[in-house]
Amino acid sequence: MRPEAARQPLGIFGGTFDPVHFGHLRLAEEAADALGLQSVRWIPAGRPALRDTPRVGPRQRLEMVRAAIAGNPRFELDPAEVEAPGPSYTVPTLERLRRPDACGADRPLVLLVGNDAFAGMAGWHRWECLFELAHVAVAHRPGYSVDPERLDSELAAAFRRRFCADPARLAAAPAGCIATFAMTPLDISATRIRSLLSKGQSPRYLMPDSVIAHIHEHRYYTEN
Ligand code: ATP
């Protein structure tokens, strides 16, 4: 990597991706433009700590993300959580990325989350440590922003203290800010796609054809 590229902010996008869809892809693509990210590293969760066991196994979800992001030079795939034996937590993942043999201490890291994920952040394992390790950027629909009145009080306090209106500031420090960015509203969820597939209905135009082909080939999500 060119030395200047190694100093540009890197987006970190974790999720269950059970399966990956266009809501995820647009979030990552629009974040890269809005926040000046050098690239976005996708990190599928192996065993997500805070939700039911995914319908499809970690390696299969990793392969679906691989198919979805293929050909996008700004996207990269990180298999570490999928390969780890224990539950997936964001803070240990960021600590791994901060090691000298990974991104090191100085590179700006920007954790990308949707509004719903951000609202639940106060329930995450060691969540207060997040801001020492990364910035957080929250995707919202145009016209809607994060409402601190509706957040957990400690998360609302962190939001007020750390909010940064100018995304250019993310490049000036390795971690510590909360930014928001508008993305094209796409009312797509993996839950809805799983439901369609289990009923034999089509998820076409909600996700890439390559992922749909992969799902059909391996007969994922066919049963309730
Ligand atoms: P499920 O329906 O199974 O809960 P999901 O579609 O919400 O899944 P996740 O893998 O849980 O997908 O989400 C990963 C990240 O992507 C989260 O930060 C979530 O807020 C965000 N996200 C998911 N779908 C959208 C969408 N349509 N628009 C914006 N952000 C989204």
Per-position pLDDT tens, the chain of length 224: 666 666 799 999 999 999 999 999 999 999 999 999 999 999 999 988 777 888 899 999 999 999 999 999 999 999 999 998 888 899 999 999 999 999 999 999 999 999 999 999 999 999 999 999 999 999 987 777 788 999 999 999 999 999 999 998 999 999 999 999 999 999 999 999 999 999 999 999 999 999 999 999 999 999 76
| Spatial separation of the C-alpha atoms in residues 55 and 72, rounded to whole Å | 27
Tell me, using a 6 A CB cutoff, whether residue 23 lines ligand 1.
yes
Domain boundaries, the chain: 3-187
Q: Which amino acid is at 217?
A: E
Residue 118, phi then psi, degrees to nearest 5? -65, -40
Between β-strands 75-77 and 109-114, what pairing exists: parallel, antiparallel or unpaired?
Answer: unpaired
Tell me, using a 6 A CB cutoff, whether residue 63 lines ligand 1.
no
Measured from the Cα of 51, ligand 1's closest atom is 4
Measured from the Cα of 191, ligand 1's closest atom is 2
Q: Which amino acid is at 23?
A: G
Measured from the Cα of 185, ligand 1's closest atom is 28
Tell me, using a 6 A CB cutoff, whether residue 114 lines ligand 1.
yes
| Spatial separation of the C-alpha atoms in residues 75 and 25, rounded to whole Å | 10
The CATH architecture of the domain made up of 3-187 is 3-Layer(aba) Sandwich (3.40)
pTM for the whole thing?
0.96
